[in-house]
Amino acid sequence: MQMLIQETSQEKASFSDRMRDKSHRSVFWAHCLRRAFDLGQNEMVNFMELLLSPAWKVLNKWFETDVLKATLATDAVIGTTGSVHTPGSGYVLLHHVMGETDGAQGIWSYVEGGMGAVSSAIGNAAREAGAQIVTNAEVSRLMVDEYGRAKGVQLADGSEVHSSIVLSNATPYRTFMELVPADVLPDGFLRSVKYADYSSGSTKINLAVDRLPSFQSCKLSYPHAGPQHRGTIHIGSESMEEIDSACQDAVNGVPSRRPVIEMTIPSVLDKTIAPPGKHVINLFIQYTPYKPSDGSWMDPVYRKSFADRCFSLIDEYCPGFSSSVIDYDMLTPPDLEREIGLTGGNLFHGAMGLDSLFLMRPVKGWSNYRTPVQGLYLCGSGAHPGGGVMGAPGRNAAQIVLQDVKRSSSFEQEDGVIKFENMAQKVSRILGRRTREALGTMYSIEIN
């Protein structure tokens, strides 16, 4: 899988580009075939079954206990509107458990200072290499020249930033339907982007609490935080049938009566994000339709009723949890779209179904990070290989940009010519060091 994730497709390159990349591609596919032969027929069939099957089938094949299967199954539906019976949800499960931390496979981590520390580390490395980063500067449109090539962006305040290379980390829909002039894009491409699946059934609730939850099923007597507080805590669904039932509620247009809840308590290990004696709790919740049929997410009473439903469900496992809540912030799919720019509230910039992966991401024929607009590249989760905190789409896109810039030797800036490839290499080198420094405290957690 690592090879497939890091591979950059060349299906839309020019003839000369294809010839130039022929050797690389031959080596890549030869390596893939060799790995397939090494696996053997039985293991290869098992691998294909995992990619194509619903998670229900995969987990029933390998595990016996309902609670364990339900715990693992949440990773197959997280961030989606699909159920454990959705074909291809086995791959979504694989996508979430194939990562690593410090070389250990399947390990998730907390980052000291919160997830913003990752962005800060990358930003610091870029600045050290000479990059200029501007924030609070909303882009209103992509500017193109008379030949349909990117020439920069116009900001919401009317100012312009000129560049022959633009990388978009926005969703494909936001990029091509809202920022790029429609008359420079092929009709077929626009239709594919417009009708891609951006649906989401996920809601995030971030809470401040005055004490740690006390799990009635846990007999460990720790005066403070114990091992039961350090991992991902699964609440509510104790079988895959219950997960499917929660999904069916959303299919019928209403939030799940018994939501699927994943709880993490990062402040147990990271003392920088909460004052002494208090804690931060994150709840990841399925399933919440974008437009519920029995109310509106714009209605404060409706929002509170759903939050209370989640807290009451947690009370069943942690008596008194509701009374520990100091305050909370809830992000439903429309909130995620409005506040963060995630089309449909989809965390992955688009569904991770089999029809939206690999050569089909973001749309068929454009999986190599280039776009129909010369000089515009897609580098976010809407590009191959999809969502997750792994940086693969950005890394792969950067490699493609470097290839294109190298062929043209350099790109023009107002203050002269900058050797872009040298800068990128410097960022990469500094990032390796700065990331180790900024993220030196990473806490491993286990999936329960």
User: What CA–CA distance (Å, rounded) separates 172 from 180?
Assistant: 10
- Whether pTM > 0.85 for this model: the answer is no
pLDDT confidence of residue 41? 75
How many angstroms separate the CA atoms of 111 and 207, rounded?
Answer: 18
Query: How close are the terminal C-alpha atoms of the chain, in Å?
Result: 24
Would you say 442 and 102 are in contact if contact means Cβ atoms under 8 Å apart?
yes
Query: What backbone phi and psi angles, to 5 degrees, belong to 298?
Result: -80, -15
pLDDT of residue 158: 95
In terms of C-beta density within 10 A (0-12 exposed, 13-18 middle, 19 or more buried), how is residue 220 classed? exposed
Distance, C-alpha 168 to centroid of its chain: 15
Q: In this structure, what is the dihedral angle of CA atoms 213, 218, 221, 222, given to the nearest 10 degrees? A: -50
SS3 264: strand
**Separation between Cα atoms, residue 291 and residue 310, nearest integer Å:** 19
Q: Which residue has the tokens 């429609």?
A: 182
Running DSSP on this structure, what letter comes out for residue 171?
-
Overall size of the chain counted in residues: 448
Q: Where are the beta strands (DSSP E) in 279-404?
A: 279-286, 325-331, 376-378
pLDDT at 96: 77
Tens-level pLDDT at each residue, the chain (448 residues) = 565 566 655 554 555 555 555 555 555 556 666 766 676 777 778 778 877 889 999 999 999 999 999 999 998 898 889 999 998 888 888 887 777 777 777 777 888 998 889 889 999 999 999 999 999 999 999 999 999 999 999 999 999 999 999 999 999 999 999 999 989 999 999 999 999 999 999 999 999 999 999 998 887 666 678 889 988 999 988 999 999 999 999 999 999 999 999 999 999 999 999 999 999 999 999 999 999 999 999 999 999 999 999 999 999 999 999 999 999 999 999 999 999 999 999 999 999 888 888 888 999 989 999 999 999 999 999 999 888 888 889 999 999 999 998 887 544 444 433 344 455 555 555 555 554 444 433 332 222 2
Name the token pair of 78: 């997280």
Kindly report the CA angle at 171 between 335 and 385, in degrees rounded to 5?
120
